[in-house]
Amino acid sequence: MEDRLPASSMPTLRQLQFLIALRAQGSFVGAAEAVGVTQPTLSAGIKDLEAVLGAVLVERGRTGAVLTPAGEEAAERAVRAVGEVEDMVRTVQTAGEPFSGVFRLGAIPTIAPFLLPRALPLLKRKFPKLRLQMREDLTARLVEGLRTRTLDAALIALPYEAHGVATAAIAEDEFYLLCPDTHPLAKRNDLSPEHLKNEDVLLLEDGHCLRDHALSACKLTPRRSSEMGATSLHTLVQMVAGGMGVTLLPKIAAEGGAVAGAPVAIRPFETPIAGRAIGVAWREGGQREAEARMLGEVLRELF
């Protein structure tokens, strides 16, 4: 029979949560606020964890707290351990009844404000016991959330490939041209990507997947696009309205009111450009995989 460690030499779940928060926040003050305890309580918990493990996990300094190599190893394993416990709790609590309990859903900024106003009422009607926790962030951070089990599913733009993460498309999202309403392209009915060659094409900043999809869809290169980038679609619309250039606008944003009241024109391309798909992503083999797939099937009803 395999020897087991005595309970007195095992870290507690709370201590592991403290260490995870400390790595994420980089300071005892921030970590304490994140987990809802006082700083002395968190500091004592970390010291107790170091005593249990017999290693220094944190270097304390004036500029904050930095994890030692041992601390990084412990924190990485703590994320997996806490995630497994949380998965176990959710699985038992929701056994036999999907979406009955907390479901943590992420969404990228170019999808969230335009899809969620329609999606949330639908999900509430179909799953009245659902308690949805929302997080809006860039794709890379949402995918990391899936891997570390801080998210159950995410609404992202496809194609996107990441190890250990599965995806399913919900709908194609066509690109339109957005330009000032006085721009010569506003009157064209034969628009093609060729018409953008001599234009200042405004894009979102690096890190937004919509930027990459726009560049790929119209075979643009960053040097042909404007050096000025926007942090959100709403900012991008205002830049176009101010005459700074033109841009590509997803259909979901156009139909979701992203340009309401702005002096701009939305024009379709003669040959529609499906630059991206809207999709749902989840941790492959995770406890909430079936619910994530079901989420995708439900959201398809909106398109």
Residues 114 and 169 in one domain: yes
| 1 within a domain of the structure (yes/no) | no
Domain termination residue (choose one: 42, 59, 91)? 91
Residues 125 and 122: their CA atoms lie apart, in Å, by: 5
Question: Which residue range(s) make up the domain with 86?
Answer: 7-91
Residue range 69-87, pLDDT digits in tens: 999 999 999 988 888 887 7
- For the cut 80, the answer to whether the pLDDT of residue 259 exceeds it is yes
| 157 within a domain of the structure (yes/no) | yes
Give the contacts of 253 (CB within 8 A, at least 6 positions apart).
110, 114, 233
Residues 46 and 165 in one domain: no
> Which residue(s) pair with 156 in the sheet?
279
Residue among 300, 288, 54, 29 nearest 165 (CA): 288
* CATH code of residue 208: 3.40.190.290
Alpha helices in the chain (DSSP H): 13-25, 28-35, 39-53, 69-93, 112-126, 139-147, 209-217, 233-241, 251-255, 289-299
Q: With bands split at pLDDT 50, 70 and 90, how would you rate the model's confidence at 286? A: confident
Mean pLDDT of 203-221: 68
Residues 230 and 293 in one domain: yes
For residue 1, what pLDDT is reported? 40
Cα torsion for 61, 63, 69, 74, to the nearest 10°?
90
Mean pLDDT of 81-103: 75
Total structural domains in the chain? Answer: 2
Domain termination residue (choose one: 91, 116, 133)? 91
| 2 within a domain of the structure (yes/no) | no
Residues 75 and 119 in one domain: no
- For the cut 60, the answer to whether the pLDDT of residue 5 exceeds it is no
Q: How does DSSP classify residue 45?
A: H
Q: Tell me the average pLDDT of the chain.
A: 85
Residues 104 and 239 in one domain: yes
Domain termination residue (choose one: 68, 91, 114)? 91
* CATH code of residue 80: 1.10.10.10
